Amino acid sequence: MSAPPPPRPAGTGPYRPTERTVPTRSPHRAAYDRDLVHAILDEGYVCHLGFVRDDAPVVLPTLYARVAERLYVHGSTGSRPLRAAGLADPGLPVCLTVTHVDGLVLARSAFHHSINYRSVVVHGLAYDVTDPGEKRQALDALVDHVVPGRAADSRPANKRELAATAVIRLDLTEVSAKLRTGGVNDEPEDLALSHWAGVVPLTRAYGTPLADPALPAGTEPPEYLAAL
Amino acid sequence: MSAPPPPRPAGTGPYRPTERTVPTRSPHRAAYDRDLVHAILDEGYVCHLGFVRDDAPVVLPTLYARVAERLYVHGSTGSRPLRAAGLADPGLPVCLTVTHVDGLVLARSAFHHSINYRSVVVHGLAYDVTDPGEKRQALDALVDHVVPGRAADSRPANKRELAATAVIRLDLTEVSAKLRTGGVNDEPEDLALSHWAGVVPLTRAYGTPLADPALPAGTEPPEYLAAL
């Protein structure tokens, strides 16, 4: 059972803050800009999906993809515990979080050590995707989220595979970003201390693609991999 | 209020699987080896901490550090929502998850696309750390977790800062790792398809340290940064 997919037109303007998307700590780091939220979501590979089972929280890493104002979360979360928690109407309360670590902030004081990061937190109700058309679109989005352009260059899922794959849907409605950027925030009286202070940037690095041994010798990686 | 810190001797042998640490999907990917779990935890910068508030899950990214068989989670989670959720006896049920993405797995079929990853999921009860000695040790561990050796090369927290920092404790008792490694798992009948298949490795890259502008000109980054 699942709720029918309601229309989700492309959103405009910032997300509307709610009680649970306004942080009580460092509220100046919160942001609701739609393009910023989309960019953070689109840059990640894995989200952390939280739900409640037997009154206790469960947080699982899982693949996801964004289609306009909707997120799709992949199959491994279709495992028994999540299903047991319930994905039928009125939907399963979830919290989906995506985080990028951009730098290590080394202050002169232990207290002001920090990291630069960008995160998005989405609250909402998750539903099982049962409509075959929507499921196929979601699976394409999941593949293209890993490598843009890849869905069109792979063998599409057949009926058996579609049936074996669970996809859940979460609308982008109650959403916030949180960011820490920039340099060190030391106390003025600490500036004369001799400790080095600064930021160590962190980025993601892609290694040389490792071809499957069963590929014919000399098969070149596709061009869309070069864009990574 | 907090429970007194019970002794946590260094553990030996694997973690004992429980009902909620044995996955119902891909159980062959689960692992309970203590050294493996420690290595995955120690390599991360940010964990995703889940707890329940008003019957709904909340998942927040936060700094953490491991000291033997205990995790400490940093301050921003000491924010009002988490405190409101309750950290006094008998402790707050949490789920703490750390994930590393190691590679993009491009199969010939859309269905077999995947990522290589290593994750650790910890279930348990979290407590507020109120003992000043334990709190100071935890803060040192948090700084050293970001950059090993850094705690000794920074100005220690003073009383005001210690009071302003919230730290919570979570013992490593109900713990599991989950991993996907290796290459592509295509169906035999797909091996002849012309799509490229293979793995794109992903790693973390450290950029050149950016010195705080207030540092005296010519101050060299410390040696322990070179180890990153």
* Model confidence pLDDT, tens digit, residues B157-174: 999 898 888 899 999 999
Nearest residue in chain A measured CA to CA from B221: A196
Whether the per-residue pLDDT at A1 is higher than 50: the answer is: no
Residue partners of A16: CB distance under 8 A and separation at least 6: A32
- B46, with CB counted inside 10 A (0-12, 13-18, 19+), is buried
Per-residue pLDDT reduced to its tens digit, A87-132:
666 789 999 999 999 999 999 999 999 999 999 999 999 998 989 8
Residue A196 has pLDDT above 50, yes or no: yes
Task: Of A86, A90, A38, A88, give the one whose Cα is nearest residue A66.
Answer: A38
Contact yes or no for B191 and A214 at CB 8 A: yes
- Asked if A22 reaches chain B (Cβ–Cβ under 8 Å), the answer is no
Q: Is B4's pLDDT higher than 50?
A: no
φ/ψ of A28, rounded to 5, equals: -65, -15
User: What band does B9 get if pLDDT is binned at 50, 70 and 90?
Assistant: low
Looking at the predicted structure, is the pLDDT value of residue B8 above 80? no
> Following DSSP, what letter does each residue of A106-117 receive, concatenated?
E-SBGGG-EEEE
pLDDT in tens, A5-62: 555 666 788 999 998 888 777 778 889 999 999 999 999 999 999 999 989 999 999 9
Nearest to B52 among A55, A198, A221 (CB): A55
Question: How close, in Å, is residue B49 to chain A by CA atoms?
Answer: 8
Per-residue tokens: B206: 């450290």
Whether the CB of B107 is below 8 Å from some CB of chain A: the reply is yes
Give which of A64, A106, A119 to mutate to test B binding, by max B Cβ within 10 Å. A106
Nearest residue of chain B to residue A19 (CA atoms): B81
Q: Per-residue confidence at B218, pLDDT binned at 50, 70, 90? A: confident
Residues 6+ apart with CB under 8 A from B171: B6, B8, B69, B70, B71, B124
How many of the other CB atoms lie within 10 Å of CB of A35?
Answer: 8
Report chain A's mean pLDDT, rounded to a whole number.
89
Subunit contact A197:B215, Cβ cutoff 8 A = yes
The percentage of chain A sitting over the pLDDT mark of 70, rounded to a whole number, equals 89
Q: What is the pLDDT of residues B116-150, one digit of tens each?
A: 999 999 999 999 898 989 999 999 999 999 999 99
The answer, for A155 touching chain B at a CB cutoff of 8 Å, is yes
Which has the higher per-residue pLDDT, B219 or B24? B219
Domains identified in chain B and CATH numbers: 19-187+194-202+218-226 (2.30.110.10)
Strand partners of residue A106: A198
Q: State the best of B46, B155, B162, B168 to mutate against chain A, taking most chain A CBs within 10 Å.
A: B155
